[in-house]
């Protein structure tokens, strides 16, 4: 839940700027007014994030001395991929903000990556002082990778040829585990989207036309995406828990599976338009995977075809 709170703040920032001017148009040189706007906005986002996380999350749990926590085996690593995605998105929008202010592409890319990494690192430090969690080396590594994916593409190609995307779908739980699912993931749509790892899928969406050096007729808006998700998870490490009556519950009969996907995707940001507003909307839309026919292979050895998967 914590990481999506930051994503919402990040996505609101370019929307607010684009209402007044063209956010997606990089300036040729430094514009002092824009530098002040970008700097002030990031300081505001950073401060609001700290306050919001404390009020909505950390104040409900006791503090502790700084400590480490190894959570690398939790949630079939879906949460770690979520960290990669979040750092990637934050770095992406930070880079665009710095380019809009007039910074050169490499400097904007590096500062954007550092901004995304810093936002995520703050959460890890807060976790380190919370008795319920701890500082996770795995999380920091995932954050670093997410920022690096964005920075490296901006420096190499001055664009994102391989985009990270997210999708979520509602999961139908049987009546005998419904209470457990509700306790873990909540019941409202925002809670389920943010917290239910069984319904989340993370994607790498690749644009083939950008890797073909000669002239080609491959649609520039058509991508190929590979995805990762998991299912059957009723606990971080295993499907065992203690209910409200103190009874030990074991549902190891429910397999915890990994899922791998292959599907076409739409790269909205590559759809040509002269409207700066539409460009911003298309860029925002490219953080989400477009629903499409999908092939799934999971670790139970099953191959499935979905007419539409999101």
- For the record, the structure tokens of 111 come out as 């500062």
Q: What is the pLDDT of residue 235?
A: 95
What is the model's pTM?
Answer: 0.89
Q: What is the pLDDT of residue 24?
A: 57
Q: What is the pLDDT of residue 228?
A: 98
Q: What is the pLDDT of residue 123?
A: 84
Sign of CA dihedral 143, 147, 153, 156: negative
Q: Give the list of residues 6+ apart from residue 204 with CB closer than 8 angstroms, or none.
A: 162, 163, 164, 165, 225, 226, 227
Q: What is the pLDDT of residue 162?
A: 95
Residues of the chain with pLDDT under 70: 1-24, 56-57
Q: What is the pLDDT of residue 59?
A: 74
């Amino acid at each position: 839940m914590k990481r999506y709170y930051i994503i919402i703040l990040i996505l609101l920032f370019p929307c607010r700027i684009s209402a007044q001017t063209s956010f997606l148009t990089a300036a040729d040189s430094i514009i002092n007014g824009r530098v002040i706007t970008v700097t002030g906005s990031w300081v505001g986002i950073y401060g609001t994030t700290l306050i919001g996380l404390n009020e909505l999350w950390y104040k409900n749990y006791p503090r502790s001395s700084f400590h480490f926590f190894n959570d690398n085996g939790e949630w079939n690593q879906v949460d770690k991929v979520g960290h990669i995605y979040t750092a990637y998105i934050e770095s992406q929008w930070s880079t665009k903000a710095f380019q809009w202010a007039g910074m050169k592409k490499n400097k904007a890319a590096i500062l954007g990556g550092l901004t995304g990494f810093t936002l995520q690192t703050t959460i890890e430090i807060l976790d380190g002082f919370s008795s319920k969690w701890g500082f996770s080396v795995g999380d920091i590594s995932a954050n670093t990778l997410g920022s690096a994916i964005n920075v490296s593409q901006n420096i190499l190609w001055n664009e994102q040829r391989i985009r990270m995307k997210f999708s979520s779908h509602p999961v139908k739980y049987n009546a005998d585990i419904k209470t457990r699912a509700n306790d873990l993931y909540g019941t409202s749509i925002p809670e389920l989207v943010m917290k239910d790892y069984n319904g989340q899928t993370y994607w790498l969406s690749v644009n083939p036309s950008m890797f073909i050096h000669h002239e080609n007729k491959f649609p520039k808006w058509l991508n190929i995406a590979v995805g990762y998700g998991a299912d059957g998870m009723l606990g971080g490490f295993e499907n065992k828990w203690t209910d409200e009556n103190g009874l030990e519950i074991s549902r190891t009969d429910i397999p915890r599976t990994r899922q791998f996907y292959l599907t076409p995707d739409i790269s909205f940001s590559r759809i040509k338009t002269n409207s700066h507003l539409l460009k911003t909307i298309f860029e925002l839309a490219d953080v989400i995977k477009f629903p499409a026919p999908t092939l799934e292979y999971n670790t139970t050895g099953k191959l499935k075809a979905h007419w539409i998967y999101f």
